[in-house]
Amino acid sequence: MRTMQTRKENRVKNSTLSPRWLAVALASLGMAAPALAQEDPIKVGILHSLSGTMAISESTLKDTVEMLIEQQNEQGGLLGRQLEAVVVDPASNWPLFAERARELLEQKEVDVIFGNWTSVSRKAVLPVVEELNGLLFYPVQYEGEESSQNVFYTGAAPNQQAIPAVNYLHDQVGVERWVLAGTDYVYPRTTNRILEAYLKEEYGVADEDIMVNYTPFGHSDWQNIVSEINRFGSEGKKTAVVSTINGDANVPFYRELSNQGIDAADIPVVAFSVGEQELSGIDTGPLVGHLAAWNYFMSVDNDDNYDFIDAWIEHTGDEESVTNDPMEAHYIGFNMWAEAVRKAGTTEVDAVKDAIIGVTVPNLTGGYAAMMPNHHITKPVLIGEIQDNGQFDVVWQTPSTVAGDAWSDYLPGSRDLIADWRKPMACGNFNVAEGTCGGSTAAEEAEAALAE
Amino acid sequence: MRITRFLTAWLTVLLLAWLPLAALAQQDDPGQALLESLDTRAYDDKAAAIQTIAASEDERARRWLETLLDGKLQRHKDTGRFVIVIDNSGRNWPAIDALTFEDAGEISRRDLDRIGINNALRNQLRSVLAVIDLYAESADVRLASAMRLLGEVDETLAGSIDDLIEEEPDAEVRRRLTQALAIYRVENGETEAVEALAGSLHPRVRVALGRAAASDDPILAQSAQAGLDDIEQNLRINRAAETLYFGLSMGSVLVLAAIGLAITFGVMGVINMAHGELMMLGAYTTWAMQQLLPGQPGLALILSIPAGFLVAALAGVAIERSVIQFLKGRPLETLLATFGVSLILQQLVRTVISPLNRTVITPEWMSGSLVLNDALSLTLNRLYVMGFALVVFVGLMLIMRRTRLGLEVRAVTQNRAMARSMGIRATRVDIMTFALGSGVAGLAGVALSQLTNVGPNLGQSYIIDSFMVVVFGGVGNLWGTLVAGLSLGVINQVLEPWAGAVLAKIMVLVFIILFIQKRPRGLFPQKGRAAEG
Amino acid sequence: MHWLGQPFKERSTLIFLGVLLTALVAVTVLHLVVPQGHPLYVSAYTVNLFGKYLSYALLAVAVDLVWGYLGILSLGHGAFFALGGYAMGMYLMRQIGERGVYGHPVLPDFMVFLNWDSLPWYWYGFDSAWIAFPMVMLAPGLLALVFGFLAFRSRVTGVYLSIITQAMTFALMLAFFRNEMGFGGNNGLTDFRDILGFDLRSDQVRLGLFLATGIALALGFVLCRAIVTSKLGRVCVAARDAEARTRFLGYRVERVQLFVFVVSAMLAGVAGALYVPQVGIINPSEFSPLFSIEIVVWVALGGRATLYGAVIGAILVNYAKTVFTGIMPDAWLFALGGLFVLVTVLLPKGIAGVLAYRVRKRGVTENDGKEATA
């Protein structure tokens, strides 16, 4: 905010340097004014990769937001104005994400952005969104350890996916040995770290009963690792694999599992990154019974969900197209934003930011999602087993919704941190033990105080 | 809105609770009650119901349990009728009645409730089915269920297994049943049963002996420990063999991916960066074939071998004619141009087919593994790929050594001008060579479709590795490619358990870089004047 | 220092410097003086964008130096670029200080949440610009020195060299993806705040970075011109065209190659260092072989062995990328791929070749006219 104001002041100062330019500017402003009538559409920025490696996951999210915008417009738009999608393509390139976000906010002047998939792209966009005071809805499950006043996390935090999944495996399946297998990047690293701490703390799991393994992106030769998992799992204790393996590496992984004869009933694999869309590229016959933990499954028996699926199939024109968890996250995020705009009566970022906390909208699994003060939402956690038709069958779910935790209680660095963006605290990383707001916000406030 | 919806939901529930009773009253088939007991939310109750069904004398029991295991046993929401779904793809599913097995027509998936099971029930069902199958006609089925019972035998089963061993005609089944029983006995502290487990590498046996070795009974512990040491010794050998197999299998994939490149790069001097995309075309051909021949994935796969070759070869000819022929003698520029081609091909697949991965089904005869012993089994799909790589290699060698085309290719490679003056049409040879190299890439793609993703990025993940293999082996030498591919595969797999997948890969790359400094022309350098070019 | 003055005697260099400086001044004026909303106004966003193009242009010049004048097609220059970027990124990370989300005074955020308890040794000193900025050149320079020493000594040339440079950058990419390396893994380094005490988010600093990049490009260009017009440069070209003969003439070709290769790597490092604060993130994807190949194509499009061609190519391709991915994302890869093919097949000398041809032709017709009148 503060930087935003100084930026504007700078501009004003610069233009006052030359009165002649000011006159020209005023003239052009005057000419532009009639065009800026109330009927101006509300601009919704969509920042999802449409080319490059991430297009495989992200392009459907772009379509989802477009569909939601269409639906909203059919219902008469928002505040009597139509919505307009502004689509840009960051091409799976992280610096380009930052650049495109800047373009959306600065050049295209969008009111809100729905976008990003990977953590690194979100990290790249974050400083831009904070600097230009934008709104970003991030729909994918992630590693947590973040809370920005400009970002709303509609995907799951680790306590909304990983921890309940482990609870299920321990309590219902009786798992005693754990393989934590993941692709080597921040999400699996953090999730596994949290899980390791959690397993040791809550269930007293011994070190030798946890095997951690990391593989590079797109890893395709799983022979050794699967055979190791097999050995690890045949020591007489019930073993499960908690997989944070990402995207393309999953197909060869599951293939190797089934070929080496590892059955879900012997060593179940619970995945956090495998959804309906990923399954649509896999022959699921041999995978029946392996698990996934999400907050939504396409197979959920609920009328809102069936309507959503029908609309989606109509939108894509493809009978075979599937829905998945991040799509539901966008559905929730979009409706929350729309509700907040209605509540605030404006699309102005600060007003919407304040209005959205506490907003509750129905999700697609028959419950409600509420926006918490830490900019995460409440979600039910569902455990599904893979079926041979590429769908999941829900075998367990949390009795009530779980509120997303921005800062994990199981990491030493963040144990004492909470986020609460309501005034007067308005802090993304408040240290409860020390009673201070850490990091950037504190430093900036101190600076601001000095300046005054 | 919400309240009415809530009310309707409640009404439906009430109705549902009522309907089955009505149905039961109409047809007092005892099966209805049995299935009824399965329709409960609690998995514990379901487990009990499964036992009841298994214990019932109903001859439909096996089929019910099987369909339950497959997740095909479902219930109509409105009528409460139990059906078996035949095909659960799409939005409307054909089904048959679960009691009479008569056709029940197509039912919308919205109207069906699945009798869900979880992994615990799945395990239970398999065990239950295994016990039933012990009495099956076929020896294979009996063997499978005997295997399944290793470590699963309990008090009630022990007695009946003892009887079965007496009657069992098949030696292998008998051996397994004896082991299964012995595990149970060892776990109950019977020292003499340890002997029956000697030499078995089955993990369940190892677990049982491990537990026994830690027991308080010193005699039991000692003999179990002795058995265990024996097993460990044996396992080490098996593990080494397994690593070697993994290495050779990975190597054969590398050879397949690289060998086409060895032809276009080694023989023609063309650096074809679109090689990976030609493999991708081969893989997509397999997918397309399976789409054309639904229900026959095996036949489709076999047909894809010539088809994949043809598609990739044609694409190769198109690339050669449109791009490469204009870049004669400028190898570095072919690299750039073909890189452009690769981008175009990738995007073409994304636009025309889909950015999503495609499902390629592994045919029955390629899934599973070849079991050598309880600790060593070779995955079938990789075994086939190894064999395929070998066949392709031998085939290429024959073409290069024994056919006129091969002769001409070698002549043109060694001295283009001289070859032309001898009446060889060099342009034609170029086209044929490039088509051959590309076609082989297509074959590699067909094989890869059985191992990894079929998607637009398939090619990219193999192109660098392929170049490494060719350069390491020595350009222009097919033997070099074979040796290089296999040895890189083995090195990688040996390093992997020790260093982790990422480091292993980095170490292999660094090794190649250093090796090239030492021997700039690879393992098997080309000799003679051609090498100077 | 006579050889450094050499470039200023060339018309092409003077024209290039003239155009570059004019562009720098023009952008500055249009950004600062013209009011917002005016059609001629250059927004901070655009200044930033231009800054990025200029750093790419410097990188392209570095590649052209080795490809155009040494005949070494390096498919690994992205690695040098990224190393320079990481050196700068590490400096910027250390500048965050206590303003990270965890408020740790020394450790960057990613180390805190991956439970590192102390700074790895190779991060020492990066809080000071006096160490970090030289490292921008030293790190890539050292890598190039070791790699080049091994490669040139054993006379690895042509395609082989290209492929092992590619292996090098690929291995580095995999290594930097590893979180144990301590460079932030896939997420890389981001959330920068200050550079030399100035707030990176202010428009003035952005403009400053843009100008700095422009000046670095000008200096780099002059340096490269000076090298190629010197005696050493002529040996380079001789080695490029006939390595064996040059050796027989008594030149230690590998030393010349090594020297130029290291200089080029350092320039690439500088480009990376200027790139990072402007885009706000550095991550291992800059090491990807794909990116390195793309750089080569910029040079090919602009025209190799001209240096100014590399600049034109880099700016043109990246501008096209910005425009295309904005208006028709699906078509971008088609366009880029088509560009690769068309340029190599139809324009082997690139745009610079076309320009030079035009200039020469006009020169000839003018001369013809003169002769006719005379």
Report the candidate in B136, B110, B124, B112 with the shortest Cα–Cα distance to residue B47. B124
B484-521 residue pLDDT tens: 999 999 999 999 888 888 899 999 999 999 998 888 88
Q: Which of A365-369, B326-330, B343-347 has the lowest mean pLDDT?
A: B326-330
C196 secondary structure, DSSP code: T
Query: Domain boundaries in chain A?
Result: 1-33, 45-156+325-376, 159-300+379-403, 417-451
Does B223 reside within a domain? Answer: no
In sequence order, which residues have a C-beta less than 8 Å from that of residue B180 and are 6 or more positions away? B146, B149, B150, B151, B152, B153, B161
Are B60 and B184 in the same domain?
Answer: no
Tell which of C64, C162, C164, C165 to mutate to test the B interface (max B CBs under 10 Å). C164
Whether residue A295 is predicted with pLDDT greater than 50 in this model: the reply is yes
Assign C141 a pLDDT band (cuts: 50, 70, 90). Answer: very high
Whether residue C26 is predicted with pLDDT greater than 90 in this model: the reply is yes
Contact status, residue B499 vs residue B452, Cβ threshold 8 Å:
no
CB contact under 8 A, A223 and B89: no
Helix (H) or strand (E) holding A47: strand A42-47
Q: Please tell me the distance from the alpha carbon of residue A223 to that of residue A255, in angstroms, as a whole number.
A: 10
Q: Which of A262-266, B146-150, B328-332, C264-268 has the lowest mean pLDDT?
A: B328-332
Q: Which of A376-385, B5-14, B136-145, C298-307 has the lowest mean pLDDT?
A: B5-14
Tell which of A12, A28, A108, A123 to mutate to test the C interface (max C CBs under 10 Å). A123
A236-255 residue pLDDT tens: 889 999 999 987 888 889 88
Token couple for B346: 């990738």
- At A139, is the secondary structure helix, strand, or coil? coil
Contact status, residue C348 vs residue C356, Cβ threshold 8 Å:
no
Are B392 and B326 in the same domain?
Answer: yes
Are B329 and B399 in the same domain?
Answer: yes
B103-153 residue pLDDT tens: 888 888 778 888 878 878 888 888 888 888 888 888 888 888 888 888 778
Q: Do domains A45-156+325-376 and A159-300+379-403 have the same CATH topology?
A: yes
Give the other-Cβ count within 10 Å of A323's Cβ: 25
Nearest to C334 among B330, B344, B503 (CB): B344
End-to-end CA gap in chain C: 43
Phi, psi of A245, rounded to the nearest 5 degrees? -75, 135
Question: Which CATH code for domain A159-300+379-403?
Answer: 3.40.50.2300
Q: A380-396: b or e for each residue (b if 16 or more CB lie within 10 Å)? A: bbbbbbbbbbbbbbbbb
Q: Please tell me the distance from the alpha carbon of residue B322 to that of residue C370, in angstroms, as a whole number.
A: 44
A191-223 residue pLDDT tens: 998 999 999 999 999 999 999 999 888 888 899
CB contact under 8 A, A15 and C35: yes
Are B489 and B398 in the same domain?
Answer: yes
In B274-385, the DSSP E strands lie at 369-373, 376-379
Integer-rounded Cα radius of gyration of chain C: 22
CB contact under 8 A, A396 and B367: no
Q: What angle do CA B336, A218, B278 make, to 5 degrees?
A: 40
Assign C1 a pLDDT band (cuts: 50, 70, 90). Answer: low
> How many separate domains does chain B show?
3
Residue of A nearest to B456 (CA): A53
Are B152 and B250 in the same domain?
Answer: no
Residue of C nearest to A47 (CA): C326
Q: What is the overall mean pLDDT for chain B?
A: 85
Helices (DSSP H) in A33-93: which residue ranges? 55-74
Are B292 and B410 in the same domain?
Answer: yes
Are B111 and B197 in the same domain?
Answer: no
pLDDT attached to residue A128: 92
Are B304 and B441 in the same domain?
Answer: yes
Q: Please tell me the distance from the alpha carbon of residue C322 to that of residue C334, in angstroms, as a whole number.
A: 15
Chain C: closest CA distance from residue A443 (Å) = 6
Whether residue A444 is predicted with pLDDT greater than 80 in this model: the reply is no
Are B488 and B526 in the same domain?
Answer: yes
C168-199 residue pLDDT tens: 999 999 999 888 888 988 888 988 888 888 88
Does B379 reside within a domain? Answer: no
Partner A, chain C 99-158, Cβ-Cβ below 8 Å: 99-104, 110, 112-115
**Helix/strand/coil (H/E/C) assignment for every residue in A267-306:** CCEEECCCCHHHHCCCCCHHHCCCEEEECCCCCCCCHHHH
CB contact under 8 A, B332 and C158: yes
Q: Please tell me the distance from the alpha carbon of residue A409 to that of residue A414, in angstroms, as a whole number.
A: 7
Tell which of A259, A305, A392 to mutate to test the B interface (max B CBs under 10 Å). A259
Are B192 and B146 in the same domain?
Answer: yes
Does B199 reside within a domain? Answer: yes
Helix (H) or strand (E) holding B511: helix B501-518
A50-93 residue pLDDT tens: 877 788 788 899 999 999 999 999 999 999 999 999 998 888 88
CB contact under 8 A, C166 and B467: yes
Report the candidate in A237, A210, A209, A232 with the shortest Cα–Cα distance to residue B211. A237
In B86-201, the DSSP E strands lie at 92-97, 103-108, 112-114
Q: In terms of C-beta distances under 8 Å and separation of at least 24 residues, what long-range contacts does A423-427 make, across chains too?
A: A423/A354, A426/A149
Q: Which fold has domain A45-156+325-376?
A: Rossmann fold (3.40.50)
Contacts of A277 in chain B (CB under 8 A): 356
Give the other-Cβ count within 10 Å of C61's Cβ: 28
C284 secondary structure, DSSP code: G
**In this complex, how many residue pairs, one in chain B and one in chain C, have their CB atoms less than 8 Å apart?**
123
Contact status, residue B442 vs residue B352, Cβ threshold 8 Å:
no
Report the candidate in C41, C93, C77 with the shortest Cα–Cα distance to residue C161. C77
Assign C367 a pLDDT band (cuts: 50, 70, 90). Answer: very low
CATH of the domain at B433: 1.10.3470
Residue of C nearest to A10 (CA): C203
Does B364 reside within a domain? Answer: no
Contacts of C43 in chain A (CB under 8 A): 106-107
In the chain, the amino acid numbered C237 is V
- Cα B414 from chain centroid? 43
**Residues A380-401, mean pLDDT to the nearest whole number:** 90
C-alpha dist (Å) from residue B27 to B23, B33, B344, C5: 6, 11, 65, 105
Partner B, chain A 26-55, Cβ-Cβ below 8 Å: 51, 53, 55
Q: A416-442: b or e for each residue (b if 16 or more CB lie within 10 Å)? A: bbbbbbeeeebbbbbbeeeeebbbbbb
Chain A: closest CA distance from residue C248 (Å) = 47
Token couple for C139: 């790190």
pLDDT attached to residue A383: 94
Whether residue B9 is predicted with pLDDT greater than 70 in this model: the reply is no
Assign B395 a pLDDT band (cuts: 50, 70, 90). Answer: very high
pLDDT attached to residue C328: 75
Query: In DSSP terms, which residues pair with A291 in a beta bridge?
Result: A270, A385
Nearest to B249 among A223, A385, A395 (CB): A223
Partner C, chain A 203-242, Cβ-Cβ below 8 Å: 214, 216-217
Token couple for A63: 């379509």
Report the candidate in A15, A321, B365, A298 with the shortest Cα–Cα distance to residue C203. A15
Higher local confidence (pLDDT), C356 or B225: B225
DSSP string, A362-429: E-TTSSEEEB-TTSBBEE--EEEEE-TTS-EEEEEE-SS-EE--SS-TTSTTTTTEEEE-STTT-EEE
Chain C: closest CA distance from residue B401 (Å) = 26
Query: In DSSP terms, which residues pair with B369 in a beta bridge?
Result: B379
Place of tokens 């020394």: C106
Assign B70 a pLDDT band (cuts: 50, 70, 90). Answer: confident
pLDDT attached to residue B132: 83
Query: In DSSP terms, which residues pair with A362 in a beta bridge?
Result: A368
CB contact under 8 A, A283 and B118: no
Helices (DSSP H) in A90-172: which residue ranges? 94-102, 119-131, 162-168
Does B220 reside within a domain? Answer: no
Helix (H) or strand (E) holding C39: none
Helices (DSSP H) in chain C: which residue ranges? 2-5, 11-32, 44-70, 77-96, 109-113, 129-153, 158-177, 203-229, 231-241, 243-248, 253-279, 289-302, 308-327, 329-346, 350-373
Q: Please tell me the distance from the alpha carbon of residue B361 to that of residue B469, in angstroms, as a whole number.
A: 29
Token couple for A179: 């393989």
pLDDT attached to residue C370: 41
C328 reaches B (C-beta below 8 A): no
Does B125 reside within a domain? Answer: no
Higher local confidence (pLDDT), B424 or B331: B424
pLDDT attached to residue C9: 84
pLDDT attached to residue B257: 92
Phi, psi of C8, rounded to the nearest 5 degrees? -70, -5
Q: Please tell me the distance from the alpha carbon of residue C50 to that of residue A213, in angstroms, as a whole number.
A: 43
- Of B215, B230, B251, the residue that ends a domain is B215
Query: Helices C289-302 and C77-96, interaxial angle, to 10°?
Result: 120
> Cα dihedral angle (B208, B211, B216, B222), rounded to 10 degrees?
70
Higher local confidence (pLDDT), C22 or B520: C22
Q: Which of A32-36, A182-186, A421-425 has the lowest mean pLDDT?
A: A32-36
A76 reaches B (C-beta below 8 A): no
Contact status, residue C282 vs residue C168, Cβ threshold 8 Å:
no
- Of B85, B120, B155, the residue that ends a domain is B120
Token couple for B41: 């939310």
Report the candidate in B208, B247, B200, B236 with the shortest Cα–Cα distance to residue B224. B208
Token couple for A171: 């309590």
B425-469 residue pLDDT tens: 988 998 999 999 999 999 999 999 998 889 888 888 888 899 899
C199-223 residue pLDDT tens: 888 888 999 999 999 999 999 999 9
Q: What is the overall mean pLDDT for chain A?
A: 85
Nearest to C101 among A89, A95, A146 (CB): A146
Contact status, residue A138 vs residue A114, Cβ threshold 8 Å:
no
Percent over 70 (pLDDT), chain A: 88
Whether residue A111 is predicted with pLDDT greater than 90 in this model: the reply is yes
Are B345 and B286 in the same domain?
Answer: yes
Are B113 and B199 in the same domain?
Answer: no
Chain B: closest CA distance from residue A147 (Å) = 31
Host domain of residue B421? 242-355+386-532
**Helix/strand/coil (H/E/C) assignment for every residue in B23-72:** HHHHCCCHHHHHHHHHCCCCHHHHHHHHHHHHHCCCCCHHHHHHHHHHCC
